[in-house]
Structure 1
Amino acid sequence: MHSPVDWNDLRLVLAVAREGSLSGAARSLRVTHSTVFRRLGAIEAAIGTRLFERFRDGYAPTPAGETAAASAARLEDEVLALERKLSGQDLRPSGAVRITTTDTLGAILIRHLPAMRAAHPGIDAEITISNTMANLTRREAEIAIRPTPAPSELLVGRRVAEIAHAIYGSRAYLGRRSDTELSAHDWIGLDDTLAGTVIAGWMRENLRAARITCRVDALPALRDAAVAGLGLALLPCYVGDLAPGLRRLTPKTPAEPRSALWLLTHDDLKRTARIRATLDFLAKALTAERALFEGKRAGAARR
């Protein structure tokens, strides 16, 4: 090695190894493609070793690249652990708080933000809407609001409410279909990106013989397809009950799945003043919505 490699160089090598391409590394590092290309070339020239093989469909690490990426990953864990511990000693309820949640929960969260802003004017919320679980260990977010039967053991959190599901159909669809067997109905399904959800699991178990008219990759699209009359859809009650074009069915069997709403953070961050204040506020605000999450909202349309 002809010159030392600093942490920023190792972060870049790790990003290229993880993403398998310069464009992917650029997105994760929030820099341009040309910056990654130029810096990687400079790193390899400085150490006198080729770290990646270049292929038409991406970059693959050489043995030296694998060694560098593995060392970078270990250093990243140490740096992030230090950041979390130092952040946990912050006693001021001020600063930015990165919150991630799903596309269906985002609207519910955002309508509570004005009250949170009034209660904690020093806290600035940064909201990320994604159905992919953010890695809180890597500080991709500091708080996650997620529907899940069981959160990761690496996280600490509060169980805010049960999440009930029900079967919904549009008034037009239900007006022309009188089938009593669920499998005789047309259904709207989920594609493989949502195969791990409780909705997909329930459909696999109970609707093997049903006709799937279309598949979608997001729950808002599942709701919209049901409103359009394409068939029945299994939805969280906090999604289906708020859709004015849908009616809820209440068959006795099979039982709809249940999940839970969790507020999650990393153990190292839970004592940080801004994180604790945000968690306390959101727990109270979302608990006030418990009837909606648990399918007990007054006036929920039923058939």
Structure 2
Amino acid sequence: MNWDDVRIFLAVQRAGTLRGAAQFLKVDQTTVGRRLAGLEHCLGSRLFLRTTGGLVLTDAGRQVLETAEGMERMAVSFERLSEGKDKRVAGEVKVTTTDALAVDFVVPAIENLKAQYPEVKVLLNTSTRLLDLARREADIAVRTLRPEQPDLIVRQLGNWEVGLYASQRYLESHGEPQQGEGFKGHDIALYQQGVTVRQDDTLAGEPLGEGRVVAELDSSLLLATFVRAGLALGELPSYLAQRDPELVRVWPKRKRTNPYEAWMVLHQDLAHTARVRVVVEAIAEAFTSA
């Protein structure tokens, strides 16, 4: 069985469409369809059914999925082990993080890195989806949650209080909210459901009951931008206020129980790869300097 055909099978299974798989693999959609048909012919079974919601696995497809994923793990492990002995400070390094951490820390780290190691190319992804390091979707992840997988190297980069913030413009227009009134007469910006585990039905411990939720956003960067624009109150990590004099901490003594954390994560097989190591050091230095 051809490993490239198995990669296509897995990409189709994860994307649910030939087009999505083609975009992920950076090949033509016709090629994906042809290689998938070849694999089905080789196995003598249909692997997918076409539905209104996309392609779904048949019973035969489900039976080969575990084997295909095992082949993928072996291939990725072989690739990582071979790269671990690469001493050249050159080549691509895939980094995934949130948009806010990218703007505030990772992009400045890349800027400093390029001056010293111009042959290192950083591929930066700020998708809200957590990319899988085990499948080499990324080499380095900078995340706000600590992962638990045993084969990953984890390093804490930062830890900040999460407080309630507003812009000077907002406070001049709306005044400061009164504790115990549930944000009566005030506009609130929140994360969309599922974006973070830190959010509940309170802000800085105050119930939201009387407030107007005027925006639900899917990233820290958008939330901070919304608050800076004077459009609403919102919870932000404290480091943002240190950089922006326009932001004012409301109720300075009150904070969210769970802090805002930043963790750097990479697979242990890549820890000694030269190009990965210099990117790790540059990102860590950017957080230390901040």
Q: TM-score, normalised on structure 1?
A: 0.83
Letter in 2 for 1:197: V
The C-alpha deviation readout for 1:72-119, integer Å capped at 9, x for no partner, is 111001111111111112223322221222100112321232321222
- Confirm whether residue 91 of structure 1 aligns to residue 87 of structure 2: yes
Extract unaligned runs of 5+ from structure 1.
290-303
- Distance apart, 1:199 and its partner CA: 4.0
Pick from 178, 181, 190 the counterpart of residue 180 of structure 1: 178
Q: Compute the displacement of 1:156 (Å).
A: 0.7
What is the alpha-carbon distance in structure 2 between the residues aligned to residue 232 and residue 129 of structure 1? 25
Q: Quote the residue 1:136 is aligned against.
A: 133
Q: In the alignment, does 2:92 pair up with 1:73? A: no
Contact 2:98 2:219 (C-alpha < 8 Å) held by counterparts: no
Distance 2:197 2:243 in 1: 21
Matched to 1:259, the amino acid is Y
Distance in 1 (CA, whole Å) between partners of 2:201 and 2:11 is 34
Determine the structure 2 residue equivalent to 1:165: 162
- 1:13-162, aligned counterparts within 5 Å? 13-107=9-103, 108-148=105-145, 150-154=146-150, 155-162=152-159
3-state SS of paired residue (1:45): helix
Contact 1:147 1:163 in 2 (8 A): no
CA contact (8 A) 1:169 1:232 kept: yes
Q: Which position in structure 2 is the counterpart of 1:197? A: 197
- Cα contact 1:10–1:69 (8 A) shared by 2: no
TM-superposed CA distance for 1:223, in Å, is 2.0
Matches within 5 A, 1:228-267: 228-255=229-256, 257-267=258-268
Identity score, percent: 31
1:13: how far off?
1.6
Q: Is the 8 A contact 2:109 2:285 kept in 1?
A: no
State how far apart, in whole Å, the 1-side matches of 2:51 and 2:40 are: 17
Instruction: Indicate conservation of the 8 Å contact 2:16/2:56, yes or no.
Output: yes
Question: CA shift at 1:24, angstroms?
Answer: 2.4
**Which deviates more, 231-240 or 241-250?**
241-250
Give the partner amino acid of 1:279: V
Residues 97 and 142, structure 1, Cα contact 8 Å, conserved in 2: yes
Cα separation, 1, equivalents of 2:18 and 2:119: 38
Q: Deviations over 1:37-73 (max 9, x none)?
A: 2322233234432222222221122222112222111
SS of residue paired to 1:280: helix
Letter matched to residue 156 of structure 2: R
Say what the alpha-carbon RMSD is for the aligned residues: 2.4
Inter-partner Cα distance in structure 2 for 1:235 and 1:7: 46
CA, structure 1 residues 16+201, in 2 after alignment: closer, same or farther (shift >3 Å)? farther
User: Deviation digits for residues 119-160 of structure 1, max 9, x if unmatched?
Assistant: 223422222222332211111111112223x23333213222
Whole-Å Cα distance in 1 between the matches of residues 155 and 200 of structure 2? 25
What is the rounded CA distance, in whole Å, between the counterparts of 1:106 and 1:254 in structure 2?
Answer: 24
| Residues 52 and 65 in structure 1, CA contact (< 8 A), matched pair in contact too | yes
- C-alpha separation between the residues in 2 aligned to 1:201 and 1:269? 41
User: What are the equivalent positions in structure 2 for 1:259-298 lying under 5 Å apart?
Assistant: 259-289=260-290
Query: Which whole-Å CA distance do the structure 1 matches of 2:49 and 2:217 have between them?
Result: 37
Q: Aligned residue for 2:207?
A: 207
Aligned residues: 283
For residue 71 of structure 2, what is the amino acid of its counterpart? L
